[in-house]
Amino acid sequence: MAVALAPPPTYAELANRLGMPESTLRSHVTRLRMRYREVLQADVRRTVETEAQAQEELHDLLRVLTES
């Protein structure tokens, strides 16, 4: 049985809760995403032998995470 999830809050709602301008929140989220991407790519590269294998692993991970 699937549980219905509430939609995520908007940037405006989150910024209000955190007491910061929405533009600042968006900037923080952008930096966080970039850093997460760097760390994930580095971790995957440590588990394979070639860059092609790393790219394939990342592609497969993205596919699994975005499948419905």
Q: Is 17 part of any domain?
A: no
Inside any domain, residue 5: no
**Domain tally, the chain:** 1
23-32, pLDDT tens digit by residue? 999 999 999 9
In a domain, 4, yes or no: no
Tell me what the mean pLDDT of segment 8-34 comes to.
97
Residue 1 domain flag: no
Of the candidates 28, 25, 3, 1, the one whose C-alpha atom is nearest the C-alpha of residue 15 is: 25
CB–CB of 54/44 below 8 Å? yes
Domain for residue 19, yes or no?
no
Is the model's pTM score more than 0.85? no
Asked if residue 36 is part of any domain, the answer here is yes
Residue numbers of the domain that contains 59? 24-66
The answer to whether position 9 is within a domain reads: no
Distance (Å) of CA 18 to CA 4, 15, 54: 26, 5, 37
